[in-house]
Structure 1
Amino acid sequence: MNLGITGKRALIIGGSSGLGLAAAQALAAEGVDIATFARNSEVLTSVSDDIKANHGVDAQGFSGDITVQADVQALRDWVETTGGINILVLNTPRPPSPMRDFLDEDDDLRWNDAYTNQLQCALYVLRHLTPLLLNKGWGRIIGVTSASIKQPMPRHAVSSIFRAGVQTALKHLVEEVAPHGITVNAIAPATVMTPTFAQFHNLERRVSGTALKRAGTLDEFGGTVAFLASQQAGFITGENIQFDGGMTKSLL
């Protein structure tokens, strides 16, 4: 299937590894030029070189800290001067580790860290980068949240509370950007075989909680991002796509 996005340009926040890198690779395979944002400039250079070699598209990286508003502003300026973007993939850092029961989360530093790394930085990105899509006449905003925002998981309070905030921010954008031809959706993953997930001590228990009895792959995740970015997904907006192998049991 031709997804109709060849020649578009995507910015992937947190695109140097894991879910973000999977999104970048999948979009590049569809002919999308790639811009990535993460802390490590050397890794970003390696990722860009790999994408260019394997997919024949333009790929560039811009290093900075997503939790620092000045860095996100600098990213906006760089994006604007290098041709703008049509697709924004918002992938934020992980919550504090180890995860704890809600009543055991009595350390304000952990709560502040979770807020900064998962919600505040997302607000920085949406506020500063969304305006760059408005004059294109077509666009896609895709947020990465968590399956725990629909069905809270044990010991995930510092994740699900702020990921739910990201989902709420995306919902607020839906009506505002629709007149500009922009859709806004979220993917809510759980049990995806990232390098971090592979190290979990409770890996077998987490996998057994899915209907499919396996972890999702990075290729499957990237493919889901690519579909939401596609022309064929143009009538899908305001949705939260559960990417959890049937782990979530709710009807809606």
Structure 2
Amino acid sequence: MDLGIKGKRAVVTGGTSGLGLASAEALAREGADLVLFARSRQRLDEVGQDLQARFGVAVEGVAGDITRKQDVQALAAAVAARGGADILVPNVPRPPQPMREFLAEDDDDKWQRAYQDQLHGGLLVLRLLTPLLLGKGWGRVVAITSASVKQPMARHAMSTIFRAGLHAALKHLANEVASQGVTVNAVAPATIVTPTFGQHHNLEARVQAVPLKRPGTTEELGAVVAFLASRQAGFITGQVVQLDGGQTLSLL
């Protein structure tokens, strides 16, 4: 299926590892040019060269910290200098580890770091980058969040609380920009295996809570991101797609 995004420009934050990289790869496979944002200049160069070689798309890397407004402003300036963007994939860092239950999270500095990474950084990206999608009659915002927003998971208090705030912002944004042909959606994953998953979670225990009895893959996540960015998904907005193998048990 041709997703209709060949030649589009996509901005992916946290785009050099994990779920951000999976999203970037899926978009590049469909022919989208990329602007990647991450902290490491070296990693940006390595990933950019790899994606260019494999998919023949243009890839630019902008180094910065998502929690620093001046860094996100620099990203926005770089994108604006190239005529704006068509697709925005806000992907924020994971909460500080180890994750604990709500009452056990008694470190104020850890709460502040989680707020900065999970909510403040995501809001900066939405506020400063979304305007660069406007005025074309077409655009896609696809945020990567967490299934715990719909059904809070054990020891995910920080992720749930701050990502819930990000979901609220996404819903407001979806309503504001819909008339300009821009859709805004979220992909909410759970138990997706990344290279660092085993460092933070017991995979065997997590899989037992998944009705499909297997973890999800980064390729599956990337495919959902690419679809929501596609021409075919043009009538989907303000929605959350659970990518959790049936782990979320709520009706809605």
Q: Is the 8 A contact 2:102 2:155 kept in 1?
A: yes
Report the 3-state secondary structure (helix = DSSP H, G, I; strand = E; otherwise coil) of the residue aligned with 1:127.
helix
Residue deviations 1:71-119 (CA, integer Å, cap 9, x gap): 0011111110123210000000010111111111111111111100100
- For the pair 1:224 / 2:224, whether they are aligned, the reply is yes
| Amino acid in structure 1 at the alignment position of 2:17 | S
Residue deviations 1:126-165 (CA, integer Å, cap 9, x gap): 1111111111210000111100011101111111000111
Aligned to 1:25: 25
Residue deviations 1:184-210 (CA, integer Å, cap 9, x gap): 000001100101213345210101111
Provide TM-score, normalisation by structure 1.
Answer: 0.98
What's the RMSD between the two structures over aligned residues? Answer: 0.8
Distance 1:171 1:113 in 2: 24
Distance 1:74 1:239 in 2: 29
Distance 1:201 1:225 in 2: 24
Stretches of structure 2 lacking an aligned partner (at least 5 in a row): none
Report the 3-state secondary structure (helix = DSSP H, G, I; strand = E; otherwise coil) of the residue aligned with 1:231.
coil
- For the pair 1:43 / 2:43, whether they are aligned, the reply is yes
Runs in 1 of length 4+ with deviation above 3 angstroms?
A: none
Number of residue pairs aligned between Structure 1 and Structure 2: 252
Aligned to 1:57: 57
| Amino acid in structure 2 at the alignment position of 1:162 | F
| Amino acid in structure 2 at the alignment position of 1:78 | A
Stretches of structure 1 lacking an aligned partner (at least 5 in a row): none
Distance 2:170 2:29 in 1: 26
Aligned to 1:205: 205
Distance of aligned partners of 1:201 and 1:89 in 2 relative to their CA distance in 1, 3 Å threshold: closer
Distance 1:220 1:158 in 2: 25
Provide TM-score, normalisation by structure 2.
Answer: 0.98
Aligned to 1:169: 169
Distance 1:198 1:246 in 2: 21
Q: Is the 8 A contact 2:98 2:200 kept in 1?
A: no
Distance 1:175 1:18 in 2: 30
| Amino acid in structure 2 at the alignment position of 1:181 | G
Aligned to 1:111: 111
Distance 2:197 2:11 in 1: 24
Distance 1:215 1:234 in 2: 29
